[in-house]
Amino acid sequence: MSEKRSSSRIQLLDVGPFVIELKTKLAQVQRSFSMLYSDFPTTSQECYIDYYIELKAPNVFRKLIRPQASFLLDGFMPFKPLPHAEAYPMFEWGLNWCIATQAHQYLMLHAATLEKNGQALILPAPPGSGKSTLCALLNHSGWRLLSDEFTLFDLKTHMLHPLVRPISLKNQSIDILRAFSSKVEIGSLVQGTSKGTVAHIKPLLNCVQQAKQTAAPAWIVFPKFEEGSPTRITAPHKADMFMKVIENSFNYSELGKAGFWAAKKLLDKCVCFDMTYSDIDEALTFFTSLSEGEVN
């Protein structure tokens, strides 16, 4: 009944490079949005809006029978509806899709990106590698969050642009972060998704306040969490790293020649490592050593 009483609400969200308009009557989306984005600045309706997004029930019958939610971009529905309980994660997933398919002013990598002492760390990894968990742990260990999902490498300035948004966690990672720091604020748990149980961490205030501050790329580390594995750090050949960067890029092919030169420039600026680990403390110690110049 609470969903039926909710009035349509339009939110304007400034996440650094992009401004998003979100329109929804879904109360659970309104609640999650208000909690997770409460520290973000308000934006004038007269500004340029990059993405017009709406979340709503597909039709009146779906409000009553197996309720669902639809994601619309400019009135177009790019995905099939999901169960109503997954409406807020659908907003975050859908926004990822919008950016990954359209923001070609950047070379975009599927990677967590953080900064410390003016230098940026890039963590590219496929799903299931523990990327977002490691990103959240580093963020709550003194690293500034740029993004848990994107590396945005500017084709002109060769700097990395922040895309500060809630960090997505799933399954046991939620409990790991909850126990790690009292400053971790976690939104509602959503169970039974294709990824299991998912939740989002509210971005730290200082990261939101620095959401327009770019960072210089310094390190690329390909992390892989492997249960019971000792911590192994290796420095692969740059040619191998180039191929891995391409494999983790959303738009390398679309950029053509510009994508090749951007990937080369990015690698020229970075020291690269492969890392396999199971011990979180050892992994965090390695990244501290990296930021302090103790690892070359």
Q: What is the pLDDT of residues 34-91, one digit of tens each?
A: 999 999 987 777 789 999 999 998 876 656 678 899 999 999 999 999 999 999 999 9
* Model pLDDT for residues 193-211, shown as the tens digit of each residue: 999 999 999 999 999 999 9
Predicted TM-score (pTM) of this structure? 0.93
Q: If you average pLDDT over residues 121-140, what whole number do you get?
A: 93
Structure tokens at 236: 């692969």
Those residues whose C-beta lies under 8 Å from the C-beta of residue 17, and which sit 6 or more positions away, are 103, 106, 152, 161, 162, 163
Q: How many CA atoms lie within 13 A of 29 on its CB side?
A: 30
Residue 3's pLDDT is 44
Residue 10's pLDDT is 80
pLDDT at 220 over 80: yes
